[in-house]
């Protein structure tokens, strides 16, 4: 299957069209239609000759929107996209009063990491997304009225287990002929794929790195995140330190709070000791509960106490507000709900 047009750089589009006897500048025009104007369907690229549009329309098409849901406060929109092979992925747009429009993208259909608190992780891995499929999620939320300001790789999947396409997507998003996002406005979240964290550090991009930690000791982290058995905390922190050293950027640690599991004062103290002296920030996220996962979020009181304990120990920490609960905004939840509500196809025979 040919790659989607949205995954190609201007030079590659030029090669494609010159191979068909078209002038090279058409390549840049196509790139601008897709990445600057968010037009994914070649038939709508009105300044191209009809025969070229028809030819482009034969390339692999874009995904199909299965659902678009907006939260009751109007600030969060979630999109369920069906890809060319039937896989379904989610993307979320979150707007803030300060004018930010942050798009949360998926990097894989499913995920192989199996974290116990994550719906995506519980349903296994289907395949990597290609760069076109990643960028498409952003473009579907990009409009003149609401330009995209930030992109976070925090949807379904482990972006650093899909390194090449993730990097390519970031280069497309920052390309001057396209959206031209600043690298600093992109954040990659990882469960701790250590070799890929080091490789990313050496790209020396200004991309932000978020590391999903969720526990300050290996015994507990391995229970929550099987990847910790492969790369334990010590190695993850060393790779994060290397990232800071190479890029000069502060990293953030994500810590999903689960009642009775990782939310005690003693663990807050352990976490503070672990991160003491590091250039970092802790993002606390109360668990987004689902019926499929036997875990619950702590009370607001407990969560705030945990945050205060970290701060009192000198660690920069903030609590992420769970938004869009009414539209199943946690990663993987909408896809699951949709699958359940559809009648099950019965095989003939
Ligand atoms: N695979 C990457 C990025 C996608 S997950 C990673 O794990 O970092 C993005 C963030 O959502 C991670 O920090 C993950 O731990 C968190 N997360 C997953 N399921 C969650 C849930 N049910 N409630 C709250 N946070 C969750
Ligand atoms: Fe995969 Fe991230 Fe979910 Fe873990 S939390 S299963 S790494 S998507």
Q: Rounded to an integer, what distance in angstroms lies between the CA atom of residue 50 and that of residue 218?
A: 60
How many residues are listed for the chain in this entry?
A: 349
Please work out, in degrees rounded to the nearest 5, the angle formed at the alpha carbon of residue 308 by the alpha carbons of 328 and 231.
65
Of 77-86, 151-160, 275-284, 316-325, least confident by mean pLDDT is 316-325
Judged against a pLDDT cut of 80, whether residue 321 lies above it is answered with no
Helices and strands, number each (H, E), in the chain: 12, 12
Q: Compute the average pLDDT of residues 81-90.
A: 95
Contacts of 103 by beta carbon, 8 Å cutoff, 6+ apart:
91, 92, 93, 94, 137, 138, 141, 148, 150, 151, 152
Ligand 2: atom nearest CA of 156 is 8
Q: Rounded to an integer, what distance in angstroms lies between the CA atom of residue 186 and that of residue 189?
A: 10
Judged against a pLDDT cut of 50, whether residue 37 lies above it is answered with yes
Beta carbons within 10 angstroms of residue 67's beta carbon: 16
Q: Compute the average pLDDT of residues 24-48.
A: 96
Judged against a pLDDT cut of 60, whether residue 274 lies above it is answered with yes
Judged against a pLDDT cut of 50, whether residue 346 lies above it is answered with no
Q: What is 63-339's CATH superfamily?
A: Aldolase class I (3.20.20.70)
Active site residue 111: no
Contacts of 316 by beta carbon, 8 Å cutoff, 6+ apart:
280, 281, 282
Q: Ligand 2 — pocket residues by CB below 6 A?
A: 111, 113-115, 118, 120-121, 157-158, 191, 212
Ligand 2 center to 298 CA (angstroms): 20
Ligand 1 center to 118 CA (angstroms): 6
Q: Rounded to an integer, what distance in angstroms lies between the CA atom of residue 185 and that of residue 179?
A: 12
The whole-number pLDDT of residue 168 equals: 98
Ligand 1 center to 154 CA (angstroms): 7
Q: Compute the average pLDDT of residues 272-295.
A: 92
Q: Which residue has the higher pLDDT, 111 or 97?
A: 111
Q: Rounded to an integer, what distance in angstroms lies between the CA atom of residue 106 and that of residue 166?
A: 10
The whole-number pLDDT of residue 339 equals: 61
pLDDT tens figures, 98-140? 889 999 999 999 999 999 999 999 889 999 999 999 999 999 9
Q: Rounded to an integer, what distance in angstroms lies between the CA atom of residue 287 and that of residue 319?
A: 11
Q: Rounded to an integer, what distance in angstroms lies between the CA atom of residue 159 and that of residue 69?
A: 24
pLDDT confidence tier of residue 61, bands split at 50, 70 and 90: confident
> Which among 88, 90, 133, 307 is annotated as catalytic?
90
Active site residue 62: no
pLDDT confidence tier of residue 349, bands split at 50, 70 and 90: very low
pLDDT confidence tier of residue 60, bands split at 50, 70 and 90: confident
Unique residue bearing structure tokens 């030029």: 14
pLDDT tens figures, 229-265? 999 999 999 999 999 999 999 999 999 999 999 999 9
The whole-number pLDDT of residue 343 equals: 45
Q: Rounded to an integer, what distance in angstroms lies between the CA atom of residue 243 and that of residue 157?
A: 21
pLDDT tens figures, 147-162? 999 999 999 999 999 9
The whole-number pLDDT of residue 182 equals: 97
Q: Rounded to an integer, what distance in angstroms lies between the CA atom of residue 138 and that of residue 129?
A: 14
Q: Where are the domains of the chain?
A: 1-62, 63-339
Closest by CA position to 91, among listed 133, 50, 49, 124: 133
Q: Compute the average pLDDT of residues 160-170.
A: 98
Give phi and psi for 153, each to the nearest 5. -90, 75
In this structure, which residue's CA is closest to atom 6 in ligand 2?
Answer: 121
Unique residue bearing structure tokens 């519980």: 122
Ligand 1 center to 284 CA (angstroms): 11
pTM of the model: 0.94
pLDDT confidence tier of residue 276, bands split at 50, 70 and 90: very high
Of 141-145, 151-155, 311-315, 340-344, least confident by mean pLDDT is 340-344
Cβ(221)–Cβ(213) below 8 Å: yes
Q: Rounded to an integer, what distance in angstroms lies between the CA atom of residue 335 and that of residue 58?
A: 28
The CATH topology of domain 1-62 is: DNA polymerase; domain 1 (1.10.150)
pLDDT tens figures, 194-235? 999 999 999 989 999 999 999 999 999 999 999 999 999 999
Strand partners, 104: 92, 152
Closest by CA position to 187, among listed 298, 320, 88: 320
Handedness of CA 308, 310, 312, 314 (dihedral sign): negative
Beta carbons within 10 angstroms of residue 184's beta carbon: 13
Burial class from Cβ neighbours inside 10 Å (0-12, 13-18, 19+) for residue 60 reads middle
Unique residue bearing structure tokens 């589009």: 13
Ligand 1: atom nearest CA of 290 is 22
Cβ(276)–Cβ(216) below 8 Å: no
Beta carbons within 10 angstroms of residue 211's beta carbon: 23
| C-alpha pair distances (Å), 283 with each of 103, 211, 253, 254 | 18, 10, 6, 5
pLDDT confidence tier of residue 348, bands split at 50, 70 and 90: very low
């Amino acid at each position: 299957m040919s790659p989607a047009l949205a995954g190609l750089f201007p030079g590659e589009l030029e090669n494609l069209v010159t191979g068909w006897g078209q002038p090279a500048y058409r390549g840049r025009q196509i790139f601008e239609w897709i990445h600057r104007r968010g037009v994914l369907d070649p038939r709508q690229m009105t300044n191209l000759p009809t025969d070229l549009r028809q030819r482009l329309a034969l390339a692999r098409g874009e995904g199909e929107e299965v659902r678009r849901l907006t939260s009751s406060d109007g600030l969060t929109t979630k999109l369920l996209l069906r890809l060319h092979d039937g896989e379904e992925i989610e993307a979320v747009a979150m707007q803030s009063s300060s004018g930010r429009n942050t798009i949360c993208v998926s990097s894989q259909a499913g995920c192989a990491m199996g974290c116990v608190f994550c719906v995506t992780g519980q349903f296994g891995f289907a395949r990597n997304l290609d760069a076109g499929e990643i960028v498409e999620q952003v473009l579907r939320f990009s409009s003149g009225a609401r330009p995209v300001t930030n992109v976070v790789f925090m949807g379904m999947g482990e972006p650093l287990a899909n390194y090449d396409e993730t990097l390519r997507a970031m280069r497309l998003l920052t390309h001057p002929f396209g959206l031209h996002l600043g690298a600093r406005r992109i954040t990659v979240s990882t469960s701790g794929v250590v070799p890929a964290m080091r490789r990313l550090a050496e790209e020396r991009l200004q991309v932000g790195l978020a590391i999903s930690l969720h526990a300050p000791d290996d015994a507990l982290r391995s229970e929550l995140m099987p990847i910790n058995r492969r790369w334990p905390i010590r190695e993850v922190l060393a790779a994060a330190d290397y990232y800071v050293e190479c890029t000069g950027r502060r990293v953030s640690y994500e810590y999903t709070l689960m009642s009775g599991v990782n939310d005690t004062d003693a663990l807050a103290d352990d976490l503070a000791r672990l991160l003491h002296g590091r250039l970092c920030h802790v993002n606390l996220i109360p668990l987004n509960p689902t019926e499929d996962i036997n875990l619950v979020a702590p009370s607001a009181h407990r969560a705030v106490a945990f945050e205060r304990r970290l701060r009192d120990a000198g660690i920069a920490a903030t609590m992420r507000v769970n938004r869009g609960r009414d539209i199943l905004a946690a990663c993987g939840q909408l896809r699951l709900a949709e699958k359940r509500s559809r009648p099950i196809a019965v095989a003939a025979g």
